[in-house]
Amino acid sequence: MKPKGIIPGITALCAILGMLIGVQYNTVQSQAASAAGTDNVRLTELSAELRKEREEKEALEKQLDKQAELLETYEAGESDGAALESLQKENEKLRAFAGLSEQTGAGIVVTMDDSDKDMGGDKNAYLVHAEDILKVVNELFVAGAEAVSVNGQRIVAQSGITCAGSVITVNGVRVAAPFEIKAIGDASVLQAALRFPGGVVDTLSPWGIVIDIREEASVTVPAYTQSALWKTTEEGEDAS
């Protein structure tokens, strides 16, 4: 007897993944194109990220093709226990990539907070802005982070980190300082990506922005919810 709901669930997941793969690849491609003529170090980083995304895109497209073949076999009633087990394992891998499942592993926790110093001038310069959070998130992914969250919101290709006045939203959800950014991956590499000379920490420190980075043996990054996915998708469509 076939488990109820498995086909619609996996079919929907494949559709979501197809969209995320395209968005993620096109986003990095656009960043690399717009970086032409700017800092050579950053351009080199984006070029490397673009190559990585291209390779991942090709690998994941093959995974989706394999998933489609397994689904066809299953729907045709020709599957056995081994085929079903393989289908479920592939489903788990794809859910992890899409950010639709919680992940736990070694990594780092970055805490960002507004400056507590009275330096005069424009006070906004001493506050954490959406672009500051985005810089940290981007550097973590370039450094190989497997999963990232900001104040409990999972970051995926479709995520939006925006600022409207003094309000920062992540995946359409309001967040406030202090900002806790969790990342799973090689802790030493992730730290180095943020601390390298001229990097994020160096750029924000003169403004008194507080950035604390600590290694953790176990970091849990929550799943990206279906409701958040459809909300950010609708926002993107409304803006186009």
Please say which residue of 98, 122, 143 terminates a domain. 98
Please say which residue of 64, 98, 132 terminates a domain. 98
Query: Does residue 192 surpass a pLDDT of 60?
Result: yes
pLDDT digits (tens, 9 = 90+) for 204-226: 988 889 999 999 999 999 998 75
CA–CA distance, 97 with 81 (Å, rounded to integer): 25
- Are 73 and 116 members of one domain? no
Q: Is 172 left (phi over 0), alpha (psi -120 to 50) or beta?
A: left
- Are 74 and 125 members of one domain? no
Range of the domain at 92: 6-98
Residue 1 lies in a domain: no
Q: Which residue has the higher pLDDT, 221 or 18?
A: 221
Q: Which residue has the higher pLDDT, 161 or 227?
A: 161
What CATH number is attached to the domain comprising 166? 3.30.70.1880
pLDDT score at 207: 85
Could you tell me how far CA 57 lies from the centroid of its own chain? 15
- Are 221 and 149 members of one domain? yes
- Are 113 and 90 members of one domain? no
Asked whether the whole model's pTM tops 0.85, one would answer: no
- Are 231 and 149 members of one domain? yes
Residue 232 lies in a domain: yes
pLDDT digits (tens, 9 = 90+) for 51-69: 666 666 666 667 666 666 6
Number of structural domains in the chain: 2
Residue 185 lies in a domain: yes
Please say which residue of 66, 98, 130 terminates a domain. 98
- Are 38 and 84 members of one domain? yes
pLDDT digits (tens, 9 = 90+) for 135-189: 999 899 989 899 999 999 999 877 888 888 778 999 889 999 999 999 999 999 9
Query: Does residue 231 surpass a pLDDT of 80?
Result: no
pLDDT score at 27: 46
